[in-house]
Every structure is written in C-alpha cells, then in structure tokens.
Amino acid sequence: MLIKKSERQVRRGALAAALASQTSGSIDRRTFLRRSGLAAGGLAALGALPLGGVRKAEAAGTGPAPAKGIIRQNICTHCSVGCTVLAEVENGVWVGQEPGWDSPISRGSHCAKGAATREIAHGERRLKYPLKLVGGKWQRISWDTAINEIGDKLLEVREKAGPDSVYWLGSAKFTNEAAYLNRKFAAFWGTNNSDHQARICHSTTVAGVANTWGYGAMTNSYNDIRNTKTIFFLGGNPAEAHPVSLQHILEGKELNRANFIVADPRLTRTAAHATEYVRLRNGTDIPVIWGMLWHIFKNGWEDKQFIAQRVYGMDDIRKEVEKWTPEEVERVSGVPGAQLERVAKMFATERPSCLIWAMGQTQHSMGTATVRASCVLLLATGNVGNFGAGANIFRGHTNVQGATDLGLDIVTLPLYYGLAEGAWRHWCRVWEVDYAWMESRFATYTGADGKPVKMMNTPGIPSTRWFDATLLPKDQVSQPDNVKVMFVMGHGGNTVTRMPEAAKGIEKLELLVVVDPVPTTWAVLSERKDGIYLLPSATSYEMAGSRTASNRSIQWGEQIIAPIFEAKNDLEIMYRLATKLGFADRMFKNIKVENNLPVAEDILREINRGGWSTGYCGQSPERLKLHMANQKDFDVVTLKAADGPCKGETYGLPWPCWGTPEFKHPGTHTLYNTNVPVREGGGTFRARFGVERVVKTKAMVDGREVEQEVRHNLLAEGSYSRGSDIQDGYPEFTYGVLKKLGWDSELSEAERATIERIGGANPDAISWATDLSGGIQRVVIGHGCAPYGNGKARAVAFGLPDAIPVHREPIYSPRPDLVAKYPTLPNARQFRVPNVGFDVQKAAVEKGLAKEFPLILSSGRLVEYEGGGEETRSNRWLAELQQDMFIEINPADAAERGIKDGGWVWVFGPADTRPKAKMRALVTERVGKGVTWSPFHFAGWFQGVDQRGKYPLGADPVVLGESVNTLTTYGYDPVTGMQEPKATLCQVRAA
Amino acid sequence: MAMMRAPVRFLAALMLLLVVAFAVPAQAQQPTSVNPQAQSVKEQELLKELKKIQGRGTLPDARSEVIEQPAGRDWRQFHQVTLRWIGAIAILGMLALLVVFYLVRGMVRIEGGRSGRTLVRFNAFERFVHWMTASCFVILALSGLNVTFGKELLLPLMGADAFANWSQWAKYMHNYLSFPFTLGVVLMFLMWIAWNFPSAVDFRWLKEGGGIIGNAHPPARRFNAGQKMIYWVVVLGGGAAAVTGYLLMFPFYATPFYTTDVAGMQLAQMVHAIVGVVFIAVMLAHIYIGTIGMQGAFEAMGKGEVDVNWAQQHHSLWLEKEAGKGHVRGGGVAPAE
Amino acid sequence: MARMKFLCDADRCIECNACVTACKNEHDVPWGINRRRVVTINDGRPGERSVSMACMHCTDAPCAAVCPVNCFYTTADGVVLHSKDLCIGCGYCFYACPFGAPQYPRVGNFGSRGKMDKCTYCAGGPEPDLTPAEYGKRDNGQFTGYGSNRLAEGKLPLCAEMCSTKSLLAGDGEIIAQIYKERVVRRGYTSGAWGWQTAYRETIAS
C-alpha cells in the first residue's frame, strides 16, 4: 500500500516494491497511535472519552512529535460563554490553535468564530496605524500627533460646552481592567456619559433581575444546566448565539431526558432540538408568561412554601395574571391555551426548571417588565436558588458581564455602587483622590425649572440615544450642552437603531474618535469629510487581563502576541490620553505603569480593594491565574475543583467571591442558593430594598375613610442559607449591626481601625459594601450569613414604572387593535433626553402604518458573525460562510410578493425617514407568515449604496451589506433606555 | 397503507387549518404546537425516498448543499466496468473486423488502373480543416482512452510519477485541443452539410453494400452513404462530445441553461465516454478505408486530387457533374478508353 | 488496528460551523475550498437536522476506484489520502464521491480544475510527516500541499476536536460507534449515523 512519497519512489521497480511492503514506513505511526491510546484502547478508552470521540492533546505526550511552539491561553471574545483559546505561538507569530480540553466551560470546543479567532488577531484588514479624515481622505498620522490633536480638541469642547458634551462609549470586549479604567477615566474627566454594549443587549435584564432579587446577572451557570429537568428558552437562540453552551444544554437534555421548550417567533436552530416549540408573536412574552402563570395558579402548581418564605408581592401578581385567560393570551400572542397549559405544567412540576433568555426578551420598549415577568415565573415555581434552576441569562460578549459589573454604564460607578455621594466617596477612598477635587470635575446643570442639578449624581445618556443628544435642540437635553464628541472604543456604529438619524448625528459632531482594531461603521456611515480619527487598538488576544463570563466566572487571559502593526493596548491608549488631559497622575496613583502600559494585575488589585458590593474583592490576579493553570481539576457539572491547589473552589471564582483574596472564598456557582453555606458559595436573596415596606391605603372604618399603614416584611421568613447562625431573614450588615449582635469583637484590630477611619463620625454606618478591610464580610460569613442580608425577592418591584409587569404593545405594533388596551407608557424625560414613545405609537396607529408595513421585522444573531460584525466580517474564514445580508421571509409572504429564495429585495422601514435597504431574500418557514427576520451584523451598504470606497485602503471588511438597524425604529425602555429592534414593522418588495 | 393515509392526512390538515384560521388571528398559517424532536428527519428514510439528500447551507455553491448522493456507486460501476467493456468491445471489435475484412477483401483497387487524369476533390481549406480536426481527434482519443484504460495498461509500465506526468499532459492536451477540434467539427458541419443530406441514391448504395462488399459499384454523388454516415457521426458525435466535454471541463460555471450538479456531471461523463469510444471505433473504420482499405482514397485528403477512374468507380454521379463543369484536369476531356 | 472514521451526530449538530472554520484555520485553506461544510435538512421546519459533512474516508473508496491515475491511497489507519503530485484534476472523484468531498481550486486555464483537495483527516499527505513540503505553501494565493498532520502528532482532526456540542466525532470507528450507541440508548432517539451506510456499509443504532 502506497503511504508516503518515499515509498512511491521505491515502488518503481517491482522488486523494490515487494521489498518496500515489508518495511512499511507507516509502522511508526501505527505504533505511535497505539501508544497514544487510540488504537489499542478500544472500549477501555471509553472511560476517558465519555462524551466526545476525541482524545486529549496530552495523550500525545508520549509521542515523537513535539509541540510546535509556546502555548498561550486566552478567552474567546465572541460571546459570554468564555471558551478557552489555546494559541500556539512561534517566534511571536500566532501559528495555530489547539482545543482547550481542560476548560470545564468549553472542554476544547469552539463555534465558527472561536475556531477562526486566530485570523482575527492577525487579520490583514485591521487598521494598521492611526488615521485622520482630512477633506474626505484618510491620512496617516503618528500616535503622538493623534493623542495631541484629540486631547486639544477635547479640552476645547470641555471648556466651551462642559465635560458632559463628550461621550465615552466603551466596550464589552474590554478586559475587566480596561472596562474599569474606562469608567474611571470618564469619572476623572467628569461625566457619567459612559456606556457600552450592555445598554443594547442586557441593560433591561440587569435592571429587571437586580430589582427582583439583588444582582443583575445569570443566577446559575452554563454547566449547571446539566442538572435541569425542564429547560425553557424564551427569547434566546443560543445554538447560534452561544453555541458551546449547547454542549451543556444538549448533554443535560440527553442525560435527564429533560423537557426542552423553545418559545420564539422563529423556529431557530435551537428550536430544532426542542421537545416543544411554541410560536409566539414578537413582543408578547409577558402575555405568554402570565398565561403560563394563569394555569399554574389555577392548578395550584406554584411553590407555596417558597413564595411564603422568600417572595414579596406574589398576591398582587395573581391579580394581574387573572386578566390573562387562555383566550386573551391566544388573542394577543397567538399561543393556544392547551399548549401553554402543557408547558406551564412541565415548567412548574418537572423541576428543577430554568429559564434561558437573551435579547428576545430584553430588546423591547417593555424589556425590563418582560425580564421581571420571567423572574416572577421563576419565583412562583420556586425555581431560583437551586442547582439546575434559575434565570440563565446568556450575555453577548466575552466581558459584557464584567464591563457591566465594572460600571461602564450611565447609572453607576464600578460594581453597582450607584451615583449617590456615598458611592463617589467610596470610590474616591479606593482611588485615594480628594472627593472635593472629583466634585470639581463635574458640571452643574440648571434646567427650565431653575433647580441646579449636580451632573455627578445624575445618570448619563444611554448609548441608544447619543445622536438624539446631539441632534435635539439644546433645551431638550438635560445637561449643559449637546453631545459634541463621541469617543468610541470597541463599539460598532451599526448596533443602534435608527441609523439614518445616527448618520446625521455623526455629521453634527465636532469630533469622532474611533479606537478599534477595525474601522467600524462609524468611519463610513456619515458624509463627514473631516474630524474623524481612527486609532488602531489591539484585539483582546493581544492584551492580558481578566474577563467575566456570563456565569460570573472570571478567567485570566494571557497576551498571545504583542499588538501587531501600530496597534496599542486599550490600557496604554487610556493612559496616554489621561496624561494629555492632565489627570494621569491622580488616576494611576496606585497602578504601576511600565513603558506607558498600565499593569493589568495592578488594576485588578485596585478593583479587588473596592469591589465589596459585588464580591469582586476575592479574585486576585494570582488566584485567577492559578485557576487557569489548573483548569483540568474543575468538574464539568459542579465547576468545583476536586483536587489540586484550587481544591474546593469554583472555577473562575464566580462573583460574589467574598472577602479579601486571603479569605479564600471559593466563589459562588449559583446565586441565592440556600442549600449551600455562604462560606462555600451559598446565599440568600439580597435584602436590597429595605427591611419593610409601608403601604398607605385608604379603608372605611366605622363609615369613615381613614388612612391605614400596612407594613410588609421584606425580609425572608423562616428561610436561611445552610449553617446560618441567624435562622430567619436579616438586613444587610453594618458595623452597627455587628455591634448589636456582639460579633464586632471578632474583628481584628486592623479591620476595626480601617472601619473607624472610614466611618469618621459615624462608623456604625459602614457596611459590608464600604468596609475596605473586608472584616465585616469575614465575620458575618463566619456566622454563616450573607453580608448583604437575607431578604425576599420582589415580585412587585416598587419604584419601577411598572412595578407589576404589564403587557404593552411595541411602539410599532402590528396589532393596532390592541394598542388602545395595551398602550406604551406616557412620554417622559428619561436619562437627560425625552422619550416620546407614546406619541410615536399613537401616530403609528393613526397613520395606519401596520397596513402599509404589514410584516413584523425582528433582528438577531448569526453564528458566524458577532455584534456589528466589522471584525468578524473582516475574517475571511468567517466571511466566506455568510457573504450576503438577507431577510428571512415566509414562503407565503414571498409568493405574494413574487420573491424568490436568494433573490434581491428592498426592505422598507416605517420610520418618518422612510429608510430602505437592499438585501437578499431567504425564503424559509423558520419565520411564520407575517414575520421577517434579519441578522444585525452587516454594514457597509447604506440604503442601497455600497460604501466600500469610504473605508481606509485595505481595511474594508471582506463582506459588506445593509444594516438592519437602518430600518429599525423608535422605542425605548423607560428603565434603561434599551432600544426596540426585536419588534418593528417593514414591507418587502422584490428588487 | 401510506397511500391510504394521504387523503386522511390532507383532510386533517385542512381541518386544522380551518380551526386555526378561526381561532388565531395573529399567525393563522403555521400550526404553533409542535415537537420538533419527535418529527426529526431520519437519514435512512430520506435515502429510501430520495436519490440524494439535500438541504440548505450558507455557501453560495449550491452543490455543497447536497450532503449525500450514493448514485456515485452506479457511476463508478459504469466507469470501472461497463465503460471498459463497451470501449473494449467497440474498439477491439472494430479492429478485429477490419483485420478480418482486410484479409478477406484486401485493398479495394482502382478498377482499370489510374487514368492519369485527376480532378480536385477537396480544396486546401477543406483539407486543412480535416487534418486539423483529425490530428486533434487522434490526440483526444489517445488521451481520452488513457483516462479509462491508462491505469491498467500504462501505469504498471511507466510507474506512478511518469504516468501521472503523462496523464497530466494528456489532460491538458485533451482540454486545450478540444477547442480546435470543436472548431473543426463546426467547420466541417458548415462546409459539407450541402452534400450530406440523405437521398434516394444512398438507399441503393446501401443496398448494394457500397461496393465494398461484392464487386458492384453503386453510383454516388460527392459523398456516398457511408461517408455521409461518417459525416454525421463526426458532426453529431463530435458535437455531443464537445458539449458534454465542456460541461465536465467547466464545472464552476453554472448557466441558466443547465445545472451541473453531480448527477448531471455523471450523465455528461457517461455520454462523453460512450460517444468517445464509439467515435473512435467508427474513425478506425474511416482511417482504414482512407488508407490501406482502398487504393486512391488517401489522395483525396492528401493531395486533394483524385484519379478520374477512382472517381468513376466510387462517385460516378459526382464525376459526371464535375466533368460537366470542366473540372477534370490532364490528358483530355474524354475518359481514356 | 485503529480504523479512523467520522461520525456526525445530527441530534447534536447545531450548524455552528466550528468544524468548517477549524479546518480553515488548521490548514489555512483558501476561500472557495471547503473541505468540510454543514448542511441543514428540512430547514425551518419541525424536525430540521443539520449535518457536518466532509470526506468520510470510505471503505473501498469510490474516489480511489475511479481515479484515472490511482492517486489515492488508504493509510494503515483507514484514512483515504491522495497525492497532489499525481492528481491531474480530472474531476472524476467528485462524480463518484457520495459526499461531495473533493474540491478543486480554480486555476488559470479557463477556470477549470486544479489539483483536487479534500479533507485529509488531518493526516497530511504523501510527503514525509510534519514537513513543510507536506504542509504546502500558502503565500500569494498559492495552495499546495495538504496542511497539518495532526495524526502524526498524536492528535485527531481539529474539526471534531473543536466541535461545539461534541456532535462530530472522530477516532477509531469502533470507539466512536460505541459512544454513539450509548448516546442513543441514553437519550432514546436518533436520526441516524449520517453517511455510515454509504461510506462504511454499516448501520449503527438507527
């Protein structure tokens, strides 16, 4: 048999051939394969290979072939699962990728993006050096020139219009350190106009979930879904958006023969594996959830004990749910009652059940309410705070959870401290800067009512509204002046709705700075001829630092290669600019800077020193690196290390990881889990909303109307985490509470001194979240208690616009007949800008737009691309797989319009600007009749015009296409400013 | 059973549609309650029902969307076995036939010897076209045969590398020479079509065996029925070979007129191969007659002029016509008798 | 002796295309050549299944049988490889292949086929193991050689190793068949070991 060329040459002569077959060169290989356990192992090898027919790379250890180069470990940047990327590096060049078998999260796996990620790091189409747009031409400039010119302009705008006129848009692809630094940068600059992608993906989740039970994050983990009996997807398509999570989900489904319910307007790739598929109309998640609860309450399937002990306000929910009879649910959402009853029964009775969602729930004008309704469903069925249960919220980028945690946001400082004076004082103590100086950095705004407002304590403008803040008349923007500068780091320009208006917004800016590995849509969208700077930043793989996955596990990534071309590390760019702007000394007071590059480890240590509220205090760089080096010790189901130096710890020390690093808290695998001691990662619902709620009601007593006060206990009743010394609900811990309990004696002298020093005149008020010593946390956890208290989760989130979630039709509703009954909330000024959703909705009904634009338009994700897509569309391996922007349309709708599969169509949007976009039709039954869907990753064509020529030479993405956000419309969640691309209208015509 | 069910299923679907249409105003057309897992497609069932399993992919090349097409097995059988038999029988059979014929009949001589007077049978352009096409054909035939028989006959003699080298060149020649060959076929078609329509004369010619079998010499115009047959074999066979050949050669260019999926390619290859071997067999006969089979025949395509006696013998009607126009050269006007 | 096979468990495949790009990455396969691809059957309808397909390294491989220059060979591991030195780019293997595996780069002469390229099971080609000659050249649009030889390094094909849901299995045919059978028993359903009947004349757990 011919095996190798050397043999073939020998085989020319018949005699030689006969000899050759005796000494086959393949023996080496055979022997080798046997040695590596494949050939000889047979079924015995099954033990090592239970789930994939693959063998670990280490098996090659005995083989003759040495590894090609150094192996470096980082985290894939393309979603929040947190797959380990193993890079082979030879002479500073990234030459190959190997599966990261040891990662308990990804176990060697990747999706298309992760498996192609090497190309992103040394993609030829990246920005190579700083560029400046002059007279419509891109001009190469040096970094020094760029920083100087930009800095001068920034200072000029600050002088003229105040610090709030500069908008700092950050990135979910930042490391934790960069995200933190970016937020700190905005603080030192003097504005809260600091945001990132979480605004447009899960801001409503964070708001909704945190307002229910305390923290805005996934409660369990991807791995934990292996314990679930009923998996319910409502508003998520992880098969395309989080492919590697499906490894855990599908294996869990198989192992447990679990129910796999997918409710979605599309029959997605996830739905293909469902045991039950529920097709609902876009934007009717609340009716569906209430419809499920209607059956649950009617049949008594709810978890009565759980509700009594751990939930506040479920009776008020019952009243709302009563309105949602099966008939009304079907009328509004299209889901038949019988199916919903079946689904409700499975979810409530075949436990543990978890609810998985992503942007299908969040990207709506009623996003927060939808998320809250989901939480209520989990609470009613007792499916929070246990293994296999929970709200499994799948986030979108490597570090969108971390960037959110670290306050890259308009409403909070790092780690959810908020914007009140106490929060600022806490961080000023951590940063060791004078509070008064910090105060002086901010402006004060006097609005029409004449009352001065301190901008320092006022939430900023959401990234969804930046162009409104630019374009609207000055008096409609509640800050000293319009936004005049966008400083964008790692954020696409095509991810926000209403793009035609964004294009106008860019034209009106005085300066646009884009810091990104690729030019992004920002560079080409507008007709601007001057005043755009493109600064090449390194990719995530060229930067060391930590990243927080969706399950709150924090993973340290090494720098794989030095930044290529003239690209620079985000940290360095921020340092250089801070230096130019004059606050670098203060900002980097406790952070070592080497060769203009701030040391990531030092930044993380600073986060640890201030991150008490969220338990970001225990994850020192040393501990994280130890986890990365010992990935193999962690179990795939429990995420716990069975052995090795991290024994007993949970992989990536998922927050909250209480106390100082020395305290060695193992991290919290599942939030609010009372079955586990707090010391080992257990918890309770956070007592975040007070001890009791006083409700004033009017009642008739003896024929007279009297005002009564009803007191509701907001603390848990008879429920507590395992091993707790306090066997009932309790408030959050302060130094004062500790004293009352007599536990303060357990504080060390140093801890007590720190508390007294911080507390000044009132040390008793120093809490678990502001105690910089970590002593309070250490002591209360020693007593088995959660530092943040033991409260009830809120089914009724008093303080929010819809305390009890109610259904509201999308702004551009396909059912104008329902708008009267389910209108959106009244107009209001939110986040410094007006939200006129009510007027827009009303006008849409009056103009009969649902007739003119009869198809529902929704957007979503493709597995090959990510986010705005510039980076992934520049990757030739990925670009080849999706070469055209398209719209999914049902065969019936296509036939009515004479549209052929693969043919070109024009899609028209209902906004006043009457946008249009040219793309291909994908005629498919994935979408129901009357529904269309488009991916949101495309850009580079605008309303039929190919903009390739406007990109800097050689930096144009391989694939361009229309952006769906050219068509998407007005609509903002009142709690977070979330946009509404998941339910709008369109019309499609063959082109 | 399945057939019995179909109308029932249809009715049920219709009823469901009606029910749904009344009940659900939002999305009436698609049933909402489904268990995708239980309805999953199964490979074995699909293979039983269909020749190939095809789906949707994201690559623009539609052929990549076919994931399984076991028909290659039949084509393999054709290529490895059937074609070889057809080829061997056609070519070796024809050779054998010609050998036997030569032994029996020998060379057909010009009765009465050469007259010394000649007339032009094919002008220079005609001869150029013929030889261009013929030489291309020989190379195409050899390189084509190499694809089918080479690895059995030549590979053991030449060794893998040399054979691959030769085959690579053979493929290039096969591909490139197809263009002049096709041009030649087209020109021949246009050049000679006027004389190649079947006529009554041809029936007599055929009935009398063309004068090859036996000693009669039935009259013929410029081309006798045998030559007409060659003509049509060249035109139709050449045309078919060319069309199928180009389909095989340019797999990347799908046009609106045809789709080159694998089944189409297999069919094209089968037609190309069968036409090829039959063509070769017929051409062997043509070459035989034109060379050692018949005295004086080669001159027609060689010098372009034939002896009047040869013409009298084989193409009497043509000679009359040509003579009438005064196209006979040398010796005098009348036949030398 | 290990007989290497591929098995795509369509009940796990989610069309994430990791196998496709992993292959591109490992061998630096150029645009237009798709050694592996994923196809979805019954797209958008209940019961839809996706299958990742490449060369299945058939038993008694039809490509090898029809090759006019005998450029194919089967290694001791049952991997069907070919020699690009010998290949003449005739396209016959593409006609015979039940899985559409052979790929041809377009070359200069009228866009017709260059030398065939296909999945090597990450086992390189006839050049000596782990040499630059085996890997081939990738500069300036060239595409020669066969790519990496992971088998020689004691590793399995990267597509299967990186599969997001462990749907695509590679390894000793007996072991992966056993894994698949156990899976089917455990979960209670199967859409079939796609291609096994055609490639290996074997049906398992269907």
Report pLDDT digits (tens) over A417-475: 999 999 999 999 999 999 999 999 999 999 888 899 999 999 999 999 999 999 999 99
Asked if C200 and C58 count as a contact pair (C-beta separation under 8 A), the reply is yes
Nearest to B37 among A8, A275, A333 (CB): A275
pLDDT at residue A34 greater than cutoff 80 = no
**pLDDT tier at C110, thresholds 50, 70, 90:** low
Which two three-digit tokens encode residue A23? Answer: 């000494």
Nearest to B36 among C48, C71, C111 (CB): C48
Nearest to A279 among B30, B35, B58 (CB): B30
Q: How far apart, in whole angstroms, are the C-alpha atoms of residue A361 and residue A234?
A: 7
Nearest to A883 among B26, B60, B160 (CB): B60
Which two three-digit tokens encode residue C166? Answer: 């462990």
pLDDT at residue B318 greater than cutoff 60 = yes
Cβ density class B64-103: b for 16+ within 10 Å, e for less: bbbbbbbbbeebbebbeeebbebbeebbeebeeebeebee
Question: Which of B40, B75, B255, B261 has the most C C-beta neighbours within 10 Å, making it the best mutation to test the interface with C?
Answer: B40
Show the beta-strand stretches assigned E in C138-203: 168-172
For residue A40, the model assigns a pLDDT of: 29
Task: Report yes or no: B55 at the A interface, CB cutoff 8 Å.
Answer: no
pLDDT at residue A124 greater than cutoff 90 = no
| A701/A924: higher pLDDT | A924
Q: Which residues of C touch B75 (CB under 8 A)?
A: 66, 95-96
* Stretch among A499-508, B185-194, B286-295, C163-172 having the lowest mean pLDDT: B286-295
DSSP H or E stretch at residue A942: strand A940-942
Q: Could you tell me which residues are beta bridge partners of residue A86?
A: A73, A98
The residue of chain A with its CA nearest to that of B20 is A336
The residue of chain B with its CA nearest to that of A892 is B29
Residues 108-167 of B with CB under 8 A from A: 159-161
Write phi, then psi, for A302 (nearest 5 degrees).
-70, 160
For residue B259, the model assigns a pLDDT of: 59
Question: Which of C38, C86, C166 has the most A C-beta neighbours within 10 Å, making it the best mutation to test the interface with A?
Answer: C166
Contacts of C103 (CB under 8 A, 6+ apart): C33, C34, C35, C116, C117, C118
Cis check: omega of the bond before A656, within 30 degrees of 0 = yes
Asked if A235 and A201 count as a contact pair (C-beta separation under 8 A), the reply is no
| A234/A2: higher pLDDT | A234
The sign of the dihedral angle between the CA atoms of A609, A611, A613, A614 is negative
Rg (CA), chain A: 28
**pLDDT tier at B205, thresholds 50, 70, 90:** confident
Contact C95 B72 (CB under 8 A): yes
For residue A45, the model assigns a pLDDT of: 34
Of A841-855, B221-235, B315-329, the range with the highest mean pLDDT is A841-855
Contact C172 A246 (CB under 8 A): no
* Stretch among A540-549, B227-236, C134-143 having the lowest mean pLDDT: C134-143
**pLDDT tier at A68, thresholds 50, 70, 90:** low
B328 φ/ψ sector (left φ>0, alpha ψ -120 to 50, else beta) = beta
Which two three-digit tokens encode residue C51? Answer: 């299958």
Contact C153 A250 (CB under 8 A): no
Contact B251 C94 (CB under 8 A): yes
Show the beta-strand stretches assigned E in B2-130: 53-54, 66-68, 118-120
Count the neighbouring beta carbons within 10 Å of the beta carbon of residue A529.
12
Report the number of secondary-structure helices (H) and strands (E) in chain C: 7, 6
User: Distances in Å between the alpha carbon of A154 and those of A129, A138, A147, A258?
Assistant: 21, 21, 10, 56
For residue B296, the model assigns a pLDDT of: 81
Asked if C86 and C127 count as a contact pair (C-beta separation under 8 A), the reply is no
In the β-sheet with A131-134, what is the strand arrangement from edge to edge?
A: A137-140, A131-134, A532-536, A511-516, A485-489, A166-169, A194-195
Q: Which residues of A touch B165 (CB under 8 A)?
A: none
For residue A553, the model assigns a pLDDT of: 97
Grouping H, G, I as helix, E, B as strand and the rest as coil, residue A351 is coil
* Stretch among A447-461, A641-655, A723-737, B288-302 having the lowest mean pLDDT: B288-302
Write down the ipTM of this complex. 0.96
pLDDT at residue B24 greater than cutoff 60 = no
Q: Which residues of B touch C194 (CB under 8 A)?
A: 43, 67-68
Residues 110-129 of A with CB under 8 A from C: 110-116, 118-119
For residue B8, the model assigns a pLDDT of: 47
Which two three-digit tokens encode residue C153? Answer: 């390094």
Which two three-digit tokens encode residue C47? Answer: 């019961």
**Count of pairs with CB atoms under 8 A, one residue in B, one in C:** 175
For residue C141, the model assigns a pLDDT of: 77
For residue B71, the model assigns a pLDDT of: 84
DSSP H or E stretch at residue A829: strand A828-830
**Count of pairs with CB atoms under 8 A, one residue in A, one in C:** 233
> What is the length of chain B?
337
Cis check: omega of the bond before A517, within 30 degrees of 0 = no
* Stretch among A419-428, A442-451, A545-554, A857-866 having the lowest mean pLDDT: A442-451
| A51/A553: higher pLDDT | A553
| Type of residue found at A833 | V
pLDDT at residue A77 greater than cutoff 80 = yes
Contacts of A645 (CB under 8 A, 6+ apart): A626, A630
For residue A1, the model assigns a pLDDT of: 37
Contact B72 C41 (CB under 8 A): no
Task: Report yes or no: C202 at the B interface, CB cutoff 8 Å.
Answer: no
Write phi, then psi, for A536 (nearest 5 degrees).
-75, 120
Contact B251 C91 (CB under 8 A): yes
Question: Which of C40, C41, C206 has the most B C-beta neighbours within 10 Å, making it the best mutation to test the interface with B?
Answer: C41
Contacts of A545 (CB under 8 A, 6+ apart): A175, A176, A177, A178, A556, A557, A600, A603, A604
Predicted confidence (pLDDT) per residue in B38-96, tens digit: 888 898 889 888 888 999 999 888 888 889 988 888 899 999 999 999 999 999 999 99
> What is the length of chain A?
991
Q: How far apart, in whole angstroms, are the C-alpha atoms of residue A234 and residue B106?
A: 90
Question: Which of B19, B22, B34 has the most A C-beta neighbours within 10 Å, making it the best mutation to test the interface with A?
Answer: B34
Predicted confidence (pLDDT) per residue in A333-357, tens digit: 999 999 999 999 999 999 999 999 9
**Which value, to the nearest 10 degrees, does the dihedral of the CA atoms of residues A359, A362, A365, A366 take?**
140
Mean pLDDT computed over A934-946: 96
Question: Which of C162, C181, C183 has the most A C-beta neighbours within 10 Å, making it the best mutation to test the interface with A?
Answer: C162
Alpha carbon A130 to chain centroid, angstroms: 29
Asked if A465 and A833 count as a contact pair (C-beta separation under 8 A), the reply is yes
Interface partners of chain B (CB pairs < 8 Å, 3 or more) are A, C
Residues of A with CB under 8 A from a CB of B: 2, 8-9, 11-12, 260, 267, 271-281, 330-336, 338-339, 815, 864, 880-883, 890, 892, 924-925, 928-931
Residues 835-894 of A with CB under 8 A from C: 863-864, 876-878, 880-881
Predicted confidence (pLDDT) per residue in A187-197, tens digit: 999 999 999 99
pLDDT at residue A11 greater than cutoff 50 = no
Residues above pLDDT 70, as percent of chain A: 93
**pLDDT tier at B177, thresholds 50, 70, 90:** very high
Interface partners of chain A (CB pairs < 8 Å, 3 or more) are B, C
Q: Which residues of A touch B26 (CB under 8 A)?
A: 281, 331-334, 815, 930
Q: How far apart, in whole angstroms, are the C-alpha atoms of residue A274 and residue A271?
A: 5
Mean pLDDT computed over A1-14: 41
Contact B29 A333 (CB under 8 A): no
pLDDT at residue A65 greater than cutoff 80 = no
* Stretch among A7-21, A609-623, A816-830 having the lowest mean pLDDT: A7-21
Interface partners of chain C (CB pairs < 8 Å, 3 or more) are A, B
The residue of chain B with its CA nearest to that of C56 is B68
Q: How far apart, in whole angstroms, are the C-alpha atoms of residue B8 and residue C108?
A: 58
Residues above pLDDT 70, as percent of chain B: 83
Contact A51 C21 (CB under 8 A): no
| Mean predicted lDDT score pLDDT of chain C | 91
Cβ density class A743-779: b for 16+ within 10 Å, e for less: bbeebeeebbebbeebbeeebeebbbbbbbbbbbbbb
Predicted confidence (pLDDT) per residue in A772-783, tens digit: 999 999 999 999
Predicted confidence (pLDDT) per residue in A484-543, tens digit: 999 999 999 999 999 999 999 999 999 999 999 999 999 999 999 999 999 999 999 999
Q: Which residue carries 């990450």 as its tokens?
A: C122
Mean pLDDT computed over A871-886: 96
Taking the alpha carbons at both ends of chain A, their separation in whole angstroms is 57
